[in-house]
Amino acid sequence: MSDTPADTPAETKPSFRGDVTVELLKHSASDTDVLWAARVSTAGEQSLEEVSKDPERSKGLINFLMRDRHGSPFEHNSMTFFISAPIFVFREFMRHRVGWCVAGDTEITLESESGTLSRRTIADLHRLWHLDAGDRPQQVRCYDEETLTARRARIVDVIESGVKPLIRIVTAAGRALRATVDHAVLTPDGWRKAGELTTGDAVLAEATERNAAPDVIVSIADDGEEMTYDLSVEGPWHNFLADGIVVHNSYNEESGRYRNLQPVFYVPAEDRKLVQQGRPGKYEFVPGSAAQQELTGRAMRDSYLQAYEAYQRMLAEGVAREVARAVLPVGLFSSMYATCNARSLMHFLGLRTQHEQAKVPSFPQREIEMVGERMEEHWAKLMPLTHAAFNANGRIAP
């Protein structure tokens, strides 16, 4: 559903839509990834041979892992989605600490407004942002990924991501990064997952005062399990320095500070059920009358147009975007990149979709469910055996 009023200039013409967009941008994910990860415990290096075998033969193993909740073999894969949805969907989405993470003792390079650099551990930053009252650091050093020159980015959030297995990457210059295998690290060949790197590969690290330069890896080893963290930083460059090495953050959302927000607003499509019946914890949605449908569409459009007109007026008078955006509603469309592995995605789907095979029912908001359903369609094509085992075992993430 999409329509646009005709009497406004093209670049600022509000439009309305009732659907969401989910594109699979890149992936390294197959059922075989689960098999080699599971078999390494008994077959050692021979498990690499699994990659070339027919995964159908190992359907039983995948089902066993899912049923008995052996979760880590489902983490050795990665999917990056581009999602376009109303802001209220992202507010719910960001509660899922899925994605790439580093260990708590990882030192993050902060940069003050005057350009002074300092370091704090990411566990400390998390404490300052979420547990202690008082000053919390606001900006990190990041890099322009094309020129490798230093930039500054504002921290959006510091996220605790749960206990996860880590690897330790040591470089020739003596840097040591402890990260999950799926954390993206910047290399001279672009972004690569930490777990894909080998000795002799280079990562990009802080070099001179203003530039990043290659630093060769001299060792990589498993490094136990512990609490991990991630930073979300504003664009256009969504990276930061972790122990001096340039790494990526897991969620990148469109910034309302650096660009004019496009006037695309959410109005429920006709099949969106509008009326909730029942009590909290036991309710259902029903379509609603024609009058309720008409009122919802009209009230939303009127209010969006009024809010956007106020936003435009402030921008025209020179008010900063980061101030003017306060009038915009949560029905405004935004977009983001989200990266996750199959284990995290299954957890997300278990909570954010309703399904007849789910052993534990959930009651998600329909709009985030629409995003989840589209992510699931992409994932099911990449990992059909894992997807089937997820359904067969009640859609409970291992």
Q: Which residues bind ligand FAD (CB under 6 A)?
A: 95-98, 160-162, 344, 347, 351-352, 362-364
125 versus 351: smaller Cβ distance to ligand FAD? 351
Report the C-alpha gap between 277 and 363 in whole angstroms.
13
Give min distance, CB of 385 to ligand FAD, in A: 23
Question: Residue 125 phi/psi, 5° resolution?
Answer: -60, -40
> With respect to ligand FAD, which residue has the nearer C-beta, 164 or 387?
164
Whose Cβ is closer to ligand FAD: residue 96's or residue 387's?
96
> Whole-angstrom Cα distance, residue 244 to residue 337?
24
Give me the residue whose beta carbon is nearest to ligand FAD: 162
Report the residue number, 20 or 261, with the smaller CB distance to ligand FAD: 20
Burial class (CB in 10 A: 0-12, 13-18, 19+), 266: buried
In the complex, what is the shortest distance from the CB of residue 97 to ligand FAD, in angstroms, rounded to a whole number? 3
Name the amino acid, one letter, at 196: E
Q: Which of 39, 352, 374, 395 is catalytic?
A: 352
Q: How far is the CB of 345 from ligand FAD (least distance, A)?
A: 10
CB of 190 to ligand FAD, least distance (A): 27
Strands (E), 89-183: 102-103, 107-111, 117-121, 139-143, 150-171, 176-179
Nearer to ligand FAD, 76 or 325 (CB): 76
Whichever of 163 and 216 has its CB closer to ligand FAD, that residue is 163
* Burial status of residue 310 (CB atoms within 10 A of its CB: 0-12, 13-18, 19 or more): middle
3-state secondary structure of 331: coil
Contact 247, 124 (CB under 8 A): no
Does the annotation mark 352 as catalytic? yes
Q: Is the dihedral of CA 40, 46, 50, 51 positive or negative?
A: positive
* H/E stretch holding 187: strand 184-187
Closer Cβ to ligand FAD, 176 or 227, answer by number: 227
For ligand FAD, the closer CB: 345 or 383: 345
Structure token digits, residue 64: 């066993």
CA nearest to 161, candidates 240, 229, 105: 229
φ/ψ of residue 183, rounded to 5: -70, 130
Contacts of 198 (CB under 8 A, 6+ apart): 217, 220
Taking phi over 0 as left and psi of -120 to 50 as alpha, with beta for the rest, 208 belongs to: beta
Query: Least distance in Å: CB of 254 to ligand FAD?
Result: 22
Q: How far is the CB of 96 from ligand FAD (least distance, A)?
A: 4
Taking Cα atoms as reference points, which of 298, 68, 72, 97 lies closest to residue 164? 72
Q: How far is the CB of 102 from ligand FAD (least distance, A)?
A: 14
Q: 């650099």: which residue's tokens?
A: 117
How far apart are CB 355 and ligand FAD at their closest, in Å? 13
Q: Which residues pair with 193 in a beta bridge?
A: 184
Active-site positions read 352
